[in-house]
Amino acid sequence: MRRRKLIYGTGTFISVVSTLGIIIAINYLLFRTDVRFDVTQEKLHTVSSQTIRALNGVEDQIEIIGFFKETGADRTGFQDLAKEYSRRSDNINVTLVNPDEEPGIAKKYAVNEYGSVIVSRGDKIVKLRLTDPITGGILNNSEEEITNAILKLTRDSQKTLYILTGNGQRDMGNSVDAEGLGLLRKTIEDEGYNVEEFLILRGEELPIENSILFVAAPTNAFSLKEIQYIKSYLDKGGRAVFMIEPRSGREIVSILKGYGFELSDDVIIDPSSKLEGGGDIAPIVSDYPYHEITQDFRFATIFPYTRSLDVVNGVYKTEVLANTSEYGWSETNFELFDEGVAQKEETDKSGPLGVAAVGESSSNSRIAVFGSADFVSNVFLEFSGNRDFFLNTLNWVSGDENLISIRPKTLNTSNLTITIKQIDLIFIFTVVVIPAVILFSGLAIWWKRRVL
């Protein structure tokens, strides 16, 4: 008996010691190799692909100087984030400065408050403020701020997005109303673009180089002069982004047809994408045909109040970027649509239906077309992949394919978006399948015991 206990005790001791040894060895290896795991859903503790691409493009020395007190959550947060930059590029030099102890350096960069960060390349300087005044830590979008600063410093020439005005387009200066595009404008500027308004009837001329024409959901008619100007700009190699909503932009639809874009006079209805508490005219899109813009894109997008579009190759090589599900349809009876009684009929075109497309000509002209403007409005811009999808498309149009990426995520409240089909599946499994399995398992056990 004693021998048996001794054997069991010895075996237990060996198991415990072995387990502890393995744990110690793993911790030692992880410490020595600086291996880390980010288990957050949005990879909040891992730099984004945009940051990695930006760092890969850094050829000159870039200085990142943080001005913080000796202790503080903002200093620690900045130090952890900055370490990721210097770890991924030998051309990034990070310095922490306590302005109380080194006032000369603070004076050199005109820094007069804690939490300031200087990003510089040669004599070019971008000044940031990264301390959150409420939490005392660094801002949630600190990575995005630093990366955008690096992009601004490393770009050889800055490109300008010219917002076409004069035809009832969406307000790019409105950051308050749901339909406004003010947040989009700031996002584009943060990406490193200049943004200016442009009126054709004023007799202004757009430069072909480093310019993109932006036509955002016009509601009024275009004059013959405006139509001819847009066509001439594109034929000379110009680049443009069009957002043409249902029942609008008739002249633009005609122009785009000549370049291989077929915009239908319809509105897409997709009951399978109905959001809880919402309508069914906001298709959730997750079907992205292969393209340089979409090759690494894995996020859903939402296209509220969108028309459908298709492409035909001609002068331009055109491709659809995003399709709705097969459950949607193209509704052309706007009278029934306005009354809220539209139903799918045999004559209606069924999904999948295109909602975004791009094209490129041999003269290097590039065009992007969207069937909705709401998808980048103030209320929908931050929905899942909407922002990245638009910015990646814009960067492709401008010729900056190296900037196509997934941008840094901020810590937001996580919302679970569920379609009607998914709700039905959850109901079936939780209310029918699981209880049925438990019931039949119990009956089987009861019957077996009764027989025995």
pLDDT digits (tens, 9 = 90+) for 268-292: 999 888 754 446 899 999 999 999 9
Rounded to an integer, the average pLDDT of 312-318 is 91
What pTM was computed for the model? Answer: 0.76
Alpha helices, DSSP H only, in 375-433?
386-398, 420-427
Q: Give the contacts of 335 (CB within 8 A, at least 6 positions apart).
A: none
Residue extents of the structural domains in the chain:
49-154, 160-403, 418-452
What gap in Å lies between CA 384 and CA 246, rounded to an integer? 23
264 pLDDT more than 90: yes
Rounded to an integer, the average pLDDT of 13-38 is 67
What are the pLDDT digits (tens) for 36-64?
555 444 444 578 888 888 888 888 999 99
Rounded to an integer, the average pLDDT of 119-129 is 91
Mean pLDDT of the chain: 87
Q: Give the contacts of 353 (CB within 8 A, at least 6 positions apart).
A: 268, 308, 323, 324, 328, 329, 330
Pick the CATH number of 49-154 from 3.30.420.10, 3.40.30.10, 3.40.640.10, 3.30.70.270: 3.40.30.10
Domain 160-403: CATH class, spelled out: alpha beta
What gap in Å lies between CA 254 and CA 310, rounded to an integer? 14
Task: Tell me whether domains 49-154 and 160-403 share a fold.
Answer: no
Rounded to an integer, the average pLDDT of 200-214 is 93
* Helix/strand/coil for 320: strand
Share of the chain above pLDDT 70, in %: 88
Share of the chain above pLDDT 90, in %: 58
What are the pLDDT digits (tens) for 324-356?
999 999 999 999 999 988 899 888 999 899 999
The answer, yes or no, to whether the previous bond of 133 is cis (omega within 30 of 0) is no
